[in-house]
Chains A and B, each alone.
Chain A
Amino acid sequence: MRTPRVALAAAVLLAALPAAAPAQPRPGPARTAPPAAPAAPAIEADLAARRSEVTALSREVADLTRHIAENRKRAAELTEYGGTLAERVRRLKKSPSGVVRDAQLKDDLKELRRVLATLRNMSHVQRILETTLSTRQVALARKAETEASRLLDRGEEAVRAGRDDDAGREFRAALAMLRLGSGARIGARPPVREPVPEPTGRFALSGHETPDEMRELALLLRDGADKIKWNGALLVEVLGRLRAERETLEDLRALETPRDGPAEGALAELDGHIGQVTAELERLRRLLGGFLARANILEQQADREEVAMLQEAGRAATGVAP
């Protein structure tokens, strides 16, 4: 959903930026004042270079977006084909063996392996493309916003110099640039992540578990620890947002008259909430520590018991008494 927005914004920008080339001084008198001296060619060249950088980046983002969408479509088609193949293989395996059936099964298995390998490769490539896209989007957002600020400054200068037509052009280009930057920033934002149900980690040990069973339980605990980490990471994000909101409220309080207006109360309330989230984060940290410690203990116990069993087996084989 987010990538077409960037592509659209890029198209808008490309349309709005005929001035990517250095702006020429307009012929004839300006509408509201005598023509100002044209900007130094070096400055104009520098501006043109920066704008073409933004244009190139937005093209790159658009290309990457298209490439990713094509890959996704191709992967979906291959997955469907792989599913059909897998179904055929299942059916063939159930059917009685024979020359034709065996040859067919062999071919299908070979093809299925090829499809799965291609899908794995595509998934790898897709991850790389998505990471690259995100990096380029961040770069584009930064460049576009810097460039928008420059365009706004130039527009302001033009207004002060009475060159209203030039100002209008700069302001329009600035708005297009701001939209492009905003679209890229939204595109680069990680998708919204949801918390997962908290693992209980409660299971009774009979005391007769084999080392393999202990390792399995340790694995369950580590899986639970991953879930706790995930939820903890989300809470850290929440905390970051709340702290940013606190800064906003500080700004509001500075603007308020009287000084003890609603922002003061909201700050106190927010601080209370930040305290709750921090306490919850602390609880998760302790829970995580507990899960990992129990997993470690189980793994160590499994190792010890396995060593003991091996020694026991060794002694039994050599006939040496313990």
Chain B
Amino acid sequence: MSRPRRALPRIAALGAVLLAAALALPAAADTMRERMDAGDRALAAGRYDAAREAYRAVLRAQPRNREAMRRLGAADLADGRLEDAFSTLQTLRVLAPEDAGVRLSLARVYREAGLADRERRALLEAIRLDPGMTEAHLGLARAFVAAEELFAAGSEYAWLIADADRAGRPPEPVVLFELAAVRERLGRPADAARLLTRYLALAPSGELADRARAALARLPAPKPAAAPGPPAAEPGAAP
């Protein structure tokens, strides 16, 4: 047999292998997607063992699949398995150093573990990476409240309100409620009353609304709204 003829079967075999691989790739991707979806469904339903198993199956095939790692960390955190969540999220932090979401998840692990300083550091890192990350700002505001750093807490809550104003949407009512508590503790009852009034306009019913009404009953009445114009700066904003 001549040389080209001898090569033919080899080329055919290689072609078959490549074809099989090309056909198998989408199938594998579909399987991964199905596993991830199954994990997500289990996680949403609070079936953490099933969720973990689904994400681990993905990671067995693709050990550095960041999405699977992120979700595995979330499942462990939701299930209170702090060491496991920490381990996965720290690994992910090394693999995705610019991912603000990983820092936010790590902050949650730290909070659950009672490591307030580390929680705060992780939240600041998240904000450094993504200055507009509202969850990180809210987490930081609450961490400041827990540490009795009320001026810093007020600043973070005010940032959240200013951010909503910039985006032309109403602020999260809970932000108004929590800032009102901070302002009252700082000896600014009129600010607190104004914030609670705004809270009730956005969320008139529920347990917090009842508490807001009770607080308003003992606080001085807020001044009537000024004539239409630019929105007033939130307490703590630049004078």
When C-beta atoms are compared, the residue in chain A nearest to B188 turns out to be: A269
B124 near A251 with CB under 8 A, answer yes
- Asked if A262 meets B238 with Cβ closer than 8 Å, knowing A248-B152, A252-B156, the reply is yes
- A-contacting 9-mer, from B28-36, B112-120, B204-212, B220-228: B112-120
Interface residues on B, range: 35 or more
A159 near B83 with CB under 8 A, answer no
A255 near B127 with CB under 8 A, answer yes
* Residue A184 CB within 8 A of the other chain: no
Main secondary structure of the interface of B (DSSP, over half): helix
Q: Which residues of B contact A168 (CB under 8 A)?
A: 87-88, 91
Main secondary structure of the interface of A (DSSP, over half): helix
- Asked if A262 meets B152 with Cβ closer than 8 Å, knowing A172-B86, A176-B83, A178-B115, the reply is no
When C-beta atoms are compared, the residue in chain B nearest to A182 turns out to be: B115
Q: Which residues of A contact B236 (CB under 8 A)?
A: 262, 265-266, 269
A266 near B115 with CB under 8 A, answer no
B158 near A266 with CB under 8 A, answer yes
Q: Which residues of B contact A255 (CB under 8 A)?
A: 124, 127-128, 131
Starting from the known contacts A155-B90, A156-B90, A252-B155, 17 additional A-B residue pairs (CB-CB under 8 Å) come to: A155-B91, A159-B91, A164-B63, A167-B91, A168-B91, A171-B87, A171-B90, A249-B155, A261-B159, A261-B162, A262-B154, A262-B236, A263-B155, A264-B238, A265-B237, A265-B239, A266-B236
Residues of A within 8 A of B (CB): 16, 31-32, 152, 155-156, 159-160, 164, 167-168, 171-172, 174-176, 178-179, 182-183, 241, 245, 248-249, 251-252, 255-257, 260-270, 273
Residues of B within 8 A of A (CB): 63-64, 82-83, 86-88, 90-91, 94-95, 109, 113-118, 124, 127-128, 131, 144, 148-149, 151-152, 154-156, 158-159, 162, 186, 233-239
